[in-house]
Chains A and B, each alone.
Chain A
Amino acid sequence: MLRRRVIPCLDVANGRVVKGTRFVDLVDEGDPPELAERYAREGADELVFLDIGAAPEGRPTLLDIVERTARRAFIPLTVGGGVRSVDDMRAVLRAGADKVALNTAAVATPGLIADCARVFGDQAVVVAIDARRKGPANAGWEVVVNGGRRPTGLDPIEWAERAASLGAGELLVTSIDRDGTQTGYDTELLAAIVDRVSVPVIASGGASGPDDFVSAVRDGHADAVLAASIFHRRIHSIASVKAAMAAAGLPVRPFPATAA
């Protein structure tokens, strides 16, 4: 049976893993290759590496650090940040990424999703959607790009459907409102998207503890759940998260019992 995945996220700026709150106030969390190796050892199912400076700074993805990270962990690696063309995506894959996440460039040029899917297969194309609530309850959400800096007016649910139909093989859905706040995933947003697409959806933004992972799958219908701060700061271990998911009856990959 296909397992629900637990995915630590490495937000990388200036060659270091950092973590902020709602995409700002960044704190240093460590060396990307070292953290990647630690998470692989502790039972992570996959890693996401986001070069968070690339889009705002208008520069390409940092390939050398992608390659050093890919060499240290024998689990899948998705890389995002600064990919604007088929050639950019090829370079990132050749540096050791298994999948590439498109975000700002895909909103600007949706045809890029189809172009990349045609060349590398839809399974290699992840579309990352950063969404923010427009206001109080029931007002809906809005897609924000450029590292959370530029609102687009797009509805994330419609954008998710369009991205999947263009060839995205997976969606990474981040709630900016919840990012780094440890107040739980936006399960309403997740469920609204998952119920409209057939590709797998990764939940992101807001994990505070193991129960949030269970709720992202149960209430948000997510196929995979991503978190950063709680793992970087050893507030919770991957093993304890998976133990909670298994106890809730969710299928998870067996994990090392001794992982810290």
Chain B
Amino acid sequence: MTDTVRAGIVDHGAGNLVSIAQALTVVGANVSLVKRPSDVDVVDLLVVPGVGAAAPAMTTLHREGLVDPIRGWIAADRPFLGICLGLQLLFDGSDEDGAQTLGVIPGRTERLVDAPTLPHIGWNQVERRVEHPAFAGIEPDADFYFVHSYAGRPTPAAADVIVADTSHGTAFVSAIARRNLIGVQFHPERSGDDGLRLLANIVDAARSVVRRPPFTLDRVSA
């Protein structure tokens, strides 16, 4: 089995894919773009990047038939990374434009509360509430780069997904995780060395998931 993790970046139409592609390449992944359902068959780690509003992105995902493949990927516990809008899309819906989103994590995307400036643009501290292997080797309050006005808020019942929060006005959730899924509100691909370390940790984790023998087959043969 090859050691190279194949990272598929979901292209939902707008924004900068160069930075995330380059960053994943630098940390050792083999990067391709996911534009249609069959593209997910040839990747090990699915990455949904992006900035901006939810509705245009969801429109593209629906049009290209990517909604069910992404939901199925997450339901099968395969390695997944959502960045900024890619994290917000995991919740049920967004207050930014009323879009109904993927509904993978119970909660909504809401406007930042009491923020002194909006959009929240710049470096801010990501304060970890729990340890997570994706943040291995990174200080517990390290700075990452943000550029957004909205953030996802898990329902109280789903609060166990919260990994970190960040303060700009009222604190908001800046990282979540559930099994092989991780979502970050900041941009690791634009957050210097710590951002690259986080991506390297996520790619390494995907490698170990890929290497693990497919247990469903073991059970079938046992």
Contacts and interface: CB of A to CB of B under 8 A. Distances in A.
Interface in A164-200: 169-170, 198-200
Contact of B15 (A93, A122, A200): A93
Interface in A24-65: 40, 45-46
Nearest to A44: B192
Interface stretch (B1-9, B98-106, B121-129): B121-129
Contact of B147 (A3, A76, A96, A198): A76
Identify the interface centre among A67, A119, A253: most chain B CB within 10 Å of its CB.
A253
B80 interface: no
Contact of B189 (A74, A119, A170, A198): A74
Sorting the interface of chain B by its residue count into under 10, 10 to 19, 20 to 34 or 35 or more gives 35 or more
Nearest to A40: B192
B52 A67 contact: no
Interface string B89-131: 0000000000000000000000000001111111111000000
A96 B19 contact: yes
A98 interface: yes
A25 B158 CA distance: 60
A98 B149 CA distance: 15
A93 B123 contact: no
Contacts of B19: 70, 74, 77, 96, 98
Contacts of A3: 122-124, 143
B23 A170 contact: no
B40 interface: no
Interface in B181-202: 187, 189-193, 195-196
A5 interface: yes
B31 interface: no
Nearest to A119: B14
B148 interface: yes
Contacts of A119: 14, 52, 56
A253 B143 contact: yes
Contacts of B53: 121
A247 interface: no
A218 interface: no
A200 B121 CA distance: 7
B197 to A, nearest CB: 11
A90 B124 contact: no
B119 A200 contact: yes
Contacts of B22: 70-71, 74, 96
A71 B23 CA distance: 8
Contacts of A97: 16
A96 B16 contact: yes
A45 B122 contact: yes
Contact of B18 (A71, A99, A121, A170): A71
A221 to B, nearest CB: 11
B67 interface: no
B117 A198 contact: yes
Nearest to B14: A120
A124 interface: yes
Given A70-B19, A76-B190, A123 B51 contact: yes
A91 to B, nearest CB: 11
A95 interface: yes
A74 B191 contact: yes
Contacts of B190: 74-76, 98
A11 interface: no
Interface string A74-114: 11110000000000001001111111000000000000000
Contacts of B124: 1-3
A253 B19 CA distance: 21
B18 A124 contact: no
A199 B125 CA distance: 20
Given A70-B18, A96-B18, 5 more contacts: A74-B191, A93-B15, A119-B56, A198-B117, A198-B118
Interface of B: 14-19, 22-23, 26, 51-53, 56, 116-125, 143, 145, 147-149, 167-168, 187, 189-193, 195-196
11 contacts: A1-B167, A74-B191, A75-B145, A77-B19, A96-B16, A98-B19, A98-B187, A119-B52, A121-B51, A223-B121, A253-B123
